[in-house]
Amino acid sequence: MHTSVALLMELGIVLAALGAAGTLTRRFGVSPVPLYLLVGLAMGEGGLAPLPAAGEFVEVGASIGVVLLLLSLGLEFSVEEFTVTLRRHVPSGLVDLVANAAPGAVAGWLLGLGGTGIVALAGVTWVSSSTIVSRLLDDLHRLGYRETPVVLSILLLEDFAMAVYLPVLTVLAAGGGVLRGVASVAVALGVLAVALVASHRWGHRVGHLVDDRDTEQLLLRIVGLALIVAAAAELAGTSAAVGAFLVGLAVTGPLAGRLRTVIAPLRDLFAAAFFLAIGLSVPPASLVPLLPVALLLAVVSTGTKMLTGWYAAARQGSGLRGKLRAGTVLSVRGEFSIIIVGLVALPGSPLGPLGPLATAYVLVLAVAGPLLTWWVSPPSVPRFRARPSR
């Protein structure tokens, strides 16, 4: 088997750079996600130190990272807890849709992007990044906070809504008719309904399927199952993230806790690849002309996400700090915004400027959002203590 020296060298440099970034941020109790994104930007095409050989590996690793992050998030809840919480926060999800799609729709209209571009940019500003937010909640030790179920419910409502929104956007981008759009929506809704019923009625069998005393076998089984279900979800027109989340949701009790511990190192490695991939995909020079518009849109849509988080957390009975934490953590945009742009902003199309604008917007909020949520409520950082003299 031939070993690529360039691939090994570049991957080694990338991992060393990410390790240094992680050490720096851990010292101050900050999430490493913003620095991972900036490292990717520096090492991508047109960056300070491009590493082309590692790009394909990072892209594949990014897809696995999304699955493992949402699998881990699903392991935090049971189906019953999730369904009750989800039903309770449907009003918050509607507020989220109206408040946060509006800035993108208005910006698209002002920029003259046309109907498809307006719908696409509305989606970009609407959807938060469930991948980055789930990592942030873990990094900042907030999974047990009062407002966290609210945040997760809004994220999952957005992810489920994407199963309807993305087929509609695809039809619009292809110039399809109304009947085709209705058919796509019907298929997406049917797949989601079947997945939720199956997870509720037969989810307990997932534990029996993957359980094993041997840690290696346990890891292989749960990751293999999550990847298969995620692939099936993508084929059915739904998000791979939703499929992985449902697998985690189906496992409860002591086994769920054991699985969280087992997959944590692998999840963190591939999650780093996901954040790195966002930066690698962006040529820095393409961002500069549209950066002022992206910054203005980021400020406005951060304000609307703050209002969303405030409203949703208030319904849960959270205090001032909880409302601020919910709003700031929801301000992060990421993977779905990139997917939306990829569906419509093809090179040479009238929507070509949408690509650089949305990418600059996502990069700004993927970096600023985690810093903002840390600033609002930083975790306690253990201080280094001097060794007692003998």
Residue 203: per-residue pLDDT: 61
Query: How many structural domains are present in the chain?
Result: 1
pLDDT of residue 330: 92
Give a yes or no: residue 215 inside a domain. Answer: yes
For position 288, which CATH number holds? 1.20.1530.20
Encoded tokens for 204? 């307990």
- Residue 46 pLDDT exceeds 60: yes
What local confidence, expressed as pLDDT, does residue 122 receive?
Answer: 92
**Amino acid in the structure at residue 352:** G
Give the number of C-alpha atoms closer than 13 A to the C-alpha of residue 79, restricted to the C-beta side.
Answer: 16
pLDDT at 214: 86
For 92-117, the pLDDT digits (tens) are 989 999 999 999 999 989 988 888 88
265 pLDDT higher than 60 = yes
pLDDT over 60 at 345, yes or no: no
Within a domain: residue 102? yes
Could you tell me if residue 211 is inside a domain? yes
Mean pLDDT of the chain: 78
- Condensed to tens digits (0 to 9), the pLDDT of residues 166-191 reads 777 777 776 655 566 566 666 666 66
Give the pLDDT of residue 291.
85
What are the start-end ranges of the E strands in the chain? none
**Which residues span the domain enclosing 239?**
11-376
pLDDT in tens, 49-73: 777 777 777 878 888 887 887 788 7
Q: Is residue 5 part of a domain?
A: no
Query: What pTM, to 2 d.p., does this model score?
Result: 0.69
Query: For residues 120 and 143, what is the distance between their CA atoms, to the nearest angstrom?
Result: 32
Does residue 73 form part of some domain?
yes
Q: Tell me, yes or no, whether 46 lies in a domain.
A: yes
Domain annotation covers residue 390: no
Q: Is residue 203 part of a domain?
A: yes
Q: Are 120 and 340 spatial neighbours (Cβ–Cβ below 8 Å)?
A: yes
- Stronger pLDDT, 195 or 160, i.e. the higher one: 160
